[in-house]
Structure 1
Amino acid sequence: MKEKNLPYTKPNIDWSEIEKWDRKYYLHNTQAQNEYVFFPVEAVDKNYLYLPDGKKLLDFQSQLVSDNMGHRNQRVHNEIKIAMERYGHIFFGLSSDYRAKAAKLLINDIIGHEKWAGRVRILSSGTEAVENAMSMARLYRGTSTILTQELSYHGLVPGATQLDGYRGNLTKNISLNESLDVPGFPDKRYVNIPAPEYSDFINKSILPSLKETERIINNIGPKNVAGIITETMIGGASYMPHSDYLRGIHNICKKYNILWILDDVLCGFGRLGEWFSYQIEENIFPDLLIIGKGLNGCALPVGAIITSLEVGEFFDKARWWSGSTHDAHPLVCASIVGNIESMMENDIINKSKSNGRYLLEKLLKLKDNHPCIGRISGRGMYYSLDLVDLNGDPIIKDDRKTRFTGNLSNNPNNVFANFCIENGLFAGGFMPNTIKAAPPLTISINEIDFAIDIMDKAFDFIEKKFH
């Protein structure tokens, strides 16, 4: 029986026992065991997280900028249930109707009119898609060097971490004051290019980052470069690049016959007000498009790679010895079908644009009232707000160059997030000085207003502590 005001049947769970097991047996990441904070979530529904004590939190960052269609989206869940009546697991050498339908929706229905996309490969995560895209670029071009942006983020498994523009895979034990890389980093096959300039950079000619990228290509030799991997909102801090940047990278890749690999795991599926982030500019298309969480709103683990016609044709003519157990799992493909059809039926792309304009207006008003807010960057339903001291400098220095070290209670992001949680809002970010505003695309205007009111108070709290 459902309790009053709960959208689920409350389970009979001894959460104190669960905490003991969680602390004793699970290997936690991003926190040392002695600082681990147990944060139980009993259920999720629509745009909310429900805690065992009866509190509900409005999710204003879509957890990991991932749950684009809210939590437990009914259309997605129904499609999974229907698929479960016929399917468990079938491996990638066998075909399911859901795999074919998901591929058709992506290649034909969403971007078919653009006439650039050839094939799609459905995988188990965005990071797995990144790894496969690196192999595809190298096989296609017959060389190994990949250019990757400073400050970028492409995942936390070994291969993808080589691409990350900020370093440090382990905050050293005991003191937690030193950040270390896994031995063997960086791999010489990955070469950094400059991070793009911010959207408010005043530019009178070619962007300096693009000039330097071209210089690096010529220094290495274009024939030795397999591809350039970029993301549109840059790195864990997530900022919007200058409007000349995407087209500039596209043009450089065409000039030197290098593959443009666009990591759209965070920005795809309506997050920036378009199906995919390259569409914010006209008539530019990637050679490999990496997608992930937004494919099914994170209902199940998923990632994918969309190829250009040329790259797809190259692999069509070969035997590509690549695969993993869960490639194009039928239940995952069912969730993709349910999610994309739900997005189309509910006009989510246009809703992201209109609600995004409203959200930006509210965020700019917050900035006017709070000296702790520096630059606001973003588009659609994805914004980052930089936290600054009274001099306009980052509260935590060099936070975009490495992982956070030191006492987590001094992390401004944590301070902000904890205040919000106490007041019914799940909000924060991934870097010490950066707050994300990236709610589910299904959020209402009233829910945006509620979040802005809590954030207003949270910024007051930040100023009292750090100013």
Structure 2
Amino acid sequence: MTESKARASVDRADDLDRRHVFHSWSAQAHRDLMTITAAAGCYVWDGEGNRLLDFSSQMVNTNIGHQHPKVVAAVQQQAAKLCTVAPQHVNEARSEAARLIAERTPGDLDRIFFTNGGADAVEHAVRMARLHTGRYKVLSRYRSYHGGTETAINLTGDPRRWPNDHGNSGVVHFFGPFLYRSQFHATTEAEEAERALAHLEQTIAFEGPETIAAIVLETVPGTAGIMVPPPGYLAGVRALCDAYGIVFIADEVMCGFGRTGKWFALEHFDGVVPDLLTFAKGVNSGYVPLGGVAIGPAIAATFADRAYPGGLTYSGHPLATAAAVATITAMREEWIVENAADIGARVLGPGLRELAQRHPSVGEVRGLGVFWAVELVRDRETREPLAPYGGSSPAMTELVAACRAAGLLPLVNFNRLHVVPPCVLTETEAKEGLAILDHALAAADRHTV
């Protein structure tokens, strides 16, 4: 394609988008969107022909990078064989995807219910828990995100919930552990875990244990801040659920499938096994929409002789599950999960902590694998954030612009810069990204006191 034809194609796409596309989480009259024309590995190309290192993994889902040839080929081969089939029929791709997922889920979560994405996976997990227990209330933490559908958005513990929350969803929020901004006046991780668990048990007692169907937790909260739970916290939640007959739902939509350097983030936490586990995103790196619920034996038994009242036209869609089979196979054969762990421990973690020493705007660095957050502040002593909770600021806008100008596509949320590249990131690419961040953080530093 000639340069003039390429330019015309980009302009036409932009014009049609502005005329006809209704965008999520956006005021439609105030959009300034980047056009992506191509992608490969850890890079994308914008409408101006600029190459950017993708430190966002788009929506933190392209875990194996863009256009992985084995996954592209698998989708093409499946399309030639069987494009679609109703979910009541067995199809080879779905069966094999379920087997591969069940082999990797913790404990005995061996039955897989497929959905179209993470939000509806959470919806169905909550429905299963309510039907299994005969209870209705569900507890979830502040500083969390569980999806944009009705139940999932009400479970969410960030400002995206507010316009959709009418107080009638049966959801009760509580404070989870976050030592940097502790709600419990803790000074150590041990204190934070102990006090957060005491707060959760008190919430259960005050709400009435016999009314609570489930506790839903992101194993490692994602867009809310990548707050790795302190040792003992998730085991304590598991114990509380066992004590009160509450279903424990682990949301691994963002942190699963290699993102933290393990197949599932729960593997970092003393063998904790939930009753239900939700997944999406990294299961096939978003190449075709797919999510699901991994189900433990007790809840599976509830529906052995009782019909489960739920389903989707595209549950276990063959193109999506073929992509999952190819993704999981490539991750195993190419040691992609292990690469995420190595790059995080050896390059990203130390590199980000070094940046924190040089830049007064960095209040804290935290994360695992290729799942990191850089907490940006105006004042390290007071920990005043560089942008308000639920909003942005000129400082954050300048930071994003500096990253893009230098060839990096970042992910930011409120006052945080999230470093969430694909799990296939090389050491050279990691160091390239860190060098760009070093330069761009100067924009944030100018707004410190």
Fold equivalence (TM over 0.5): yes
CA distance in 2, matches of 1:375, 1:333: 38
Match of 1:218 among 191, 205, 213: 205
Q: CA contact under 8 A between 1:425 and 1:451: conserved in structure 2? A: yes
Q: CA contact under 8 A between 1:152 and 1:231: conserved in structure 2? A: yes
CA distance in 1, matches of 2:294, 2:152: 18
- Over residues 303-325 of structure 1, what are the superposed CA-to-partner deviations in whole Å (9 max), with x where a residue is unaligned? 11001122122222321121111
Q: CA contact under 8 A between 1:118 and 1:312: conserved in structure 2? A: no
Q: CA contact under 8 A between 1:129 and 1:290: conserved in structure 2? A: yes
Q: Which amino acid aligns with 1:378?
A: G
Name 2:316's counterpart in structure 1: 328
Q: Which amino acid aligns with 1:339?
A: T
Instruction: Write the mapping of 1:135-150 to structure 2, written as runs, cut at 5 A.
Output: 135-150=127-142
Is 1:338 aligned to residue 320 of structure 2? no
- Over residues 349-397 of structure 1, what are the superposed CA-to-partner deviations in whole Å (9 max), with x where a residue is unaligned? 2111111112101101100101100111111111101000135423346
Name 1:450's counterpart in structure 2: 432
Name 2:396's counterpart in structure 1: 413
Name 1:130's counterpart in structure 2: 122
CA distance in 1, matches of 2:109, 2:265: 15
Secondary structure (helix, strand or coil) at the match of 1:300 reads: coil
Secondary structure (helix, strand or coil) at the match of 2:177 reads: coil
Q: CA contact under 8 A between 2:139 and 2:214: conserved in structure 1? A: yes
TM (norm. structure 1) is: 0.89
Shift of the alpha carbon at 1:13? Answer: 4.4
Q: CA contact under 8 A between 1:263 and 1:289: conserved in structure 2? A: yes
Match of 2:420 among 405, 414, 438: 438
Name 1:116's counterpart in structure 2: 108
CA distance in 2, matches of 1:136, 1:346: 36
Secondary structure (helix, strand or coil) at the match of 1:148 reads: strand
Instruction: Write the mapping of 1:296-445 to structure 2, written as runs, cut at 5 A.
Output: 296-357=284-345, 358-392=347-381, 393-396=383-386, 398-399=388-389, 403-404=390-391, 410-429=393-412, 431-445=413-427
Q: CA contact under 8 A between 2:387 and 2:396: conserved in structure 1? A: no
Shift of the alpha carbon at 1:12? Answer: 7.4
Q: 1:462 to 1:138 in 2, by over 3 A?
A: same
Q: Which amino acid aligns with 2:254?
A: L
CA distance in 2, matches of 1:355, 1:397: 29
Name 1:244's counterpart in structure 2: 232
Is 1:92 aligned to residue 87 of structure 2? yes
Name 1:163's counterpart in structure 2: 155
Number of matched pairs: 439
CA distance in 1, matches of 2:94, 2:291: 13
CA distance in 1, matches of 2:226, 2:25: 19
Q: Which amino acid aligns with 1:332?
A: A
Q: CA contact under 8 A between 1:394 and 1:433: conserved in structure 2? A: no
- Over residues 417-454 of structure 1, what are the superposed CA-to-partner deviations in whole Å (9 max), with x where a residue is unaligned? 2211111111132x221001111000110001110010
Q: 1:181 to 1:379 in 2, by over 3 A?
A: same
Is 1:28 aligned to residue 18 of structure 2? no
Secondary structure (helix, strand or coil) at the match of 1:385 reads: strand
CA distance in 2, matches of 1:442, 1:296: 14
Deviates more, 1:316-325 or 1:368-377: 316-325
Q: 1:74 to 1:394 in 2, by over 3 A?
A: farther
* Unpaired stretches in structure 2, ≥5 consecutive residues: 181-186
Name 1:174's counterpart in structure 2: none
Shift of the alpha carbon at 1:11? Answer: 5.5
Name 2:49's counterpart in structure 1: 54
Is 1:193 aligned to residue 177 of structure 2? no
Q: CA contact under 8 A between 2:396 and 2:444: conserved in structure 1? A: no
Q: CA contact under 8 A between 2:70 and 2:330: conserved in structure 1? A: yes
CA distance in 2, matches of 1:380, 1:90: 37
- Over residues 155-208 of structure 1, what are the superposed CA-to-partner deviations in whole Å (9 max), with x where a residue is unaligned? 122221100112345xxxxxxxxxx623x5233511112122338734359621
Q: Which amino acid aligns with 2:110?
A: G
Secondary structure (helix, strand or coil) at the match of 1:289 reads: strand
**Cα root mean square deviation, aligned:** 2.1
CA distance in 2, matches of 1:25, 1:466: 41
Q: 1:187 to 1:195 in 2, by over 3 A?
A: farther
Q: 1:205 to 1:98 in 2, by over 3 A?
A: closer
* Unpaired stretches in structure 1, ≥5 consecutive residues: 4-9, 170-179
Is 1:462 aligned to residue 444 of structure 2? yes
CA distance in 2, matches of 1:185, 1:362: 44
CA distance in 2, matches of 1:204, 1:395: 24
Match of 2:60 among 49, 55, 65: 65
